[in-house]
C-alpha cells in the first residue's frame, strides 16, 4: 500500500537531546527497511537500513529498531545536532535481494527541527 501524508508530523528537540522518529509500515511482506534524511530541495540521503531478520541495528549516532509484530520502525538519533534538522522518511522494500530491490514504498515522513 501507499503511505502519503498531506501534513507531515513534526518533532522539535533541543541540541544534545536524543530524538526518536517513528514509522508504521504497511506491508507485512516487506523484508528490507531504510531510513532516509531529506534536506530541502535535495534527494533522499541514506542513513541506515535493516533487514527483516533483525530487530535492531546501530550506526554512528543512529539506531534503527524494527518490530515486525506491529509493523513499526523507529529511528533513534543520539545527541541531536542542528545539522540533523531535515525531513526523515522510512521506506520499505518487498523482495529485497531480488528484482524488486530498490523499489521502495515511502512512509509519510517526519520533520525534525533541532534548536541550538
Residues of this chain that interact with other proteins (CB under 8 A) are: 2-8, 36, 41-46, 49, 89, 91, 97-99, 101-109
| Residue 34 CB, nearest approach to other proteins (Å) | 8
Task: Check: CB of residue 44 under 8 Å from CB of residue 52.
Answer: no
| Residue 16 CB, nearest approach to other proteins (Å) | 28
Using the Cα atoms of residue 28, residue 30, residue 31 and residue 35 in order, give the sign of their dihedral.
Answer: negative
Task: Check: CB of residue 38 under 8 Å from CB of residue 87.
Answer: yes
Nearer to other proteins, 9 or 16 (CB): 9
Task: Check: CB of residue 10 under 8 Å from CB of residue 113.
Answer: yes
Nearer to other proteins, 60 or 99 (CB): 99
| Residue 99 CB, nearest approach to other proteins (Å) | 5
Amino acid at each position: 500500500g501507499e503511505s502519503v501524508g498531506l501534513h507531515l508530523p513534526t518533532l522539535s528537540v533541543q541540541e544534545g537531546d536524543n530524538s526518536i522518529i517513528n514509522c508504521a509500515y504497511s506491508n507485512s511482506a516487506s523484508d528490507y527497511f531504510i531510513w532516509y534524511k531529506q534536506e530541502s530541495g535535495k534527494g533522499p540521503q541514506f542513513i541506515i537500513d535493516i533487514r527483516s531478520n533483525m530487530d535492531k541495528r546501530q550506526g554512528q549516532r543512529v539506531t534503527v529498531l524494527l518490530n515486525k509484530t506491529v509493523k513499526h520502525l523507529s529511528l533513534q538519533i543520539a545527541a541531536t545536532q542542528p545539522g540533523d534538522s531535515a525531513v526523515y522518511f522510512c521506506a520499505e522494500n518487498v523482495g529485497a535481494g531480488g528484482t524488486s530491490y530498490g523499489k521502495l514504498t515511502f512512509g509519510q515522513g517526519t520533520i525534525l527541527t533541532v534548536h541550538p
